[in-house]
């Protein structure tokens, strides 16, 4: 049987209410699920939304955040054209198009927001986002006494990798470091690419003694991605509140210790 978008009793008033909510939604994906749940609340049944957009690609959502299993949802997810799919009910076309349009905008906003705060090569936070996170961590440390470690890492010999093996190899090194850092971080840790070959970490309740093991894993990631690379990692560490309670001073201290690590190796 050919799949076709079905309709519900949702009307233009509900669409207008959803449109007002989009402006205040903290998450685009969250808005999509709220919209689908609203349809279910108003009409019952089950709803699957299929979006396809040049910016976000193909995205499939099911009301109540249900998994896309079961014959009906599986078939829609695998085969259906973009549209709003419902088990029963009636709906005018304008309402369907309105909901699809709002959900598309919501998901696009998530993508744009992610791109604005993340480094495109490594997928880590960018410098601006890291600076915001550092200010927040210092503020919490001052207010509640919560300690954290600020660690700066850079890749010694990175220019030599680019010069001898090519910029593609250099990019591979950075991507490998980004993947290894994401895999090695705990919930609550913050990691970012803060410069060309420099990375920043905010590690709540972490002692600097834990860093050597992380550095070893990162070195393995470099050599696994680019076997001919002779690059190695240097680190600079500062603690809050023990070393400083100002984000600028804390960063300067970690950066100075990073420089010392470079020149003594």
CA dihedral for 93, 99, 103, 106, sign (positive or negative)? positive
- Nearest partner of 194 among 146, 143, 247, 245, judged by Cα: 247
How far apart, in Å, are the Cα atoms of 138 and each of 17, 118, 211, 247, 248?
A: 40, 21, 20, 6, 10
Burial level of 215, CB count in 10 A (0-12/13-18/19+)? Answer: middle
What pLDDT is attached to residue 248? 95
Q: Is the pLDDT of residue 2 over 80?
A: no
Among the options 197, 220, 243, 246, which is catalytic? 197
pLDDT in tens, 72-101: 888 888 888 998 888 765 556 777 788 889
| Phi-psi category of residue 49: left, alpha or beta, with phi > 0 → left and psi -120 to 50 → alpha | beta
> Is 197 among the residues known to form the active site?
yes
CA dihedral for 181, 203, 115, 158, sign (positive or negative)? negative
Domains of the chain, CATH where assigned: 12-117 (no CATH), 127-263 (3.30.70.270)
Spatial contact of 125 and 190, defined as CB atoms under 8 Å apart: yes
pLDDT in tens, 108-137: 888 777 777 888 888 889 998 999 999 999
Q: Strand order in 57-62's β-sheet? A: 57-62, 47-53, 83-86
Q: Is the pLDDT of residue 172 over 80?
A: yes
Residues 6+ apart with CB under 8 A from 213: none
pLDDT in tens, 26-80: 888 899 999 999 888 877 778 899 998 887 789 999 999 988 887 788 888 888 8
The single residue listed with the structure tokens 């279910």 is: 40
What pLDDT is attached to residue 10? 62
For residue 97, count other CB atoms closer than 10 A to its CB: 13
Q: Is the pLDDT of residue 206 over 80?
A: no
Q: Is the pLDDT of residue 194 over 80?
A: yes
Q: How far is the first Cα of the chain from the last one, in angstroms, to the nearest whole number? A: 69
Stated as kind and residue range, the H or E segment containing 61 is strand 57-62
- Quote the mean pLDDT of the chain: 84
């Amino acid at each position: 049987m050919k799949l076709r978008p079905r309709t519900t009793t949702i009307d233009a008033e509900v669409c207008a209410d959803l449109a007002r909510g989009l402006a205040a939604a903290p998450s685009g994906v969250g808005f999509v699920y709220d919209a689908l749940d609203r349809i279910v609340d108003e009409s019952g049944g089950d709803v699957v939304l299929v979006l396809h957009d040049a910016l976000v690609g193909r995205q499939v959502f099911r009301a109540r955040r249900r998994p896309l299993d079961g014959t009906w949802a599986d078939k829609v997810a695998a085969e259906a054209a973009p549209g709003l799919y419902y088990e029963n009910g009636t709906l005018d076309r304008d309402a369907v198009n309105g909901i699809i349009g709002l959900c598309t905008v919501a998901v696009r906003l998530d993508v744009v927001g992610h791109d604005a705060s993340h480094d495109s090569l490594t997928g880590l936070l960018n410098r601006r986002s890291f600076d915001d996170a550092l200010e927040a961590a210092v503020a919490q440390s001052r207010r509640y006494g919560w300690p954290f470690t600020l660690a700066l890492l850079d890749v010694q010999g990175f220019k030599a990798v680019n010069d001898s093996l090519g910029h593609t190899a250099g990019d591979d090194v950075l991507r490998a470091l980004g993947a290894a850092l994401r895999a090695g971080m705990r919930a609550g840790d913050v990691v970012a690419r803060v410069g060309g070959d420099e990375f920043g970490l905010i590690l709540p309740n972490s002692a600097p003694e834990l860093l050597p093991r992380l550095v070893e894993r990162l070195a393995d990631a470099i050599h696994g991605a680019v076997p001919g690379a002779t690059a190695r990692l240097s680190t600079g560490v500062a603690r809050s509140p023990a070393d400083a309670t100002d984000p600028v001073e804390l960063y300067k201290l970690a950066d100075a210790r990073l420089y010392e690590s470079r020149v003594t190796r």
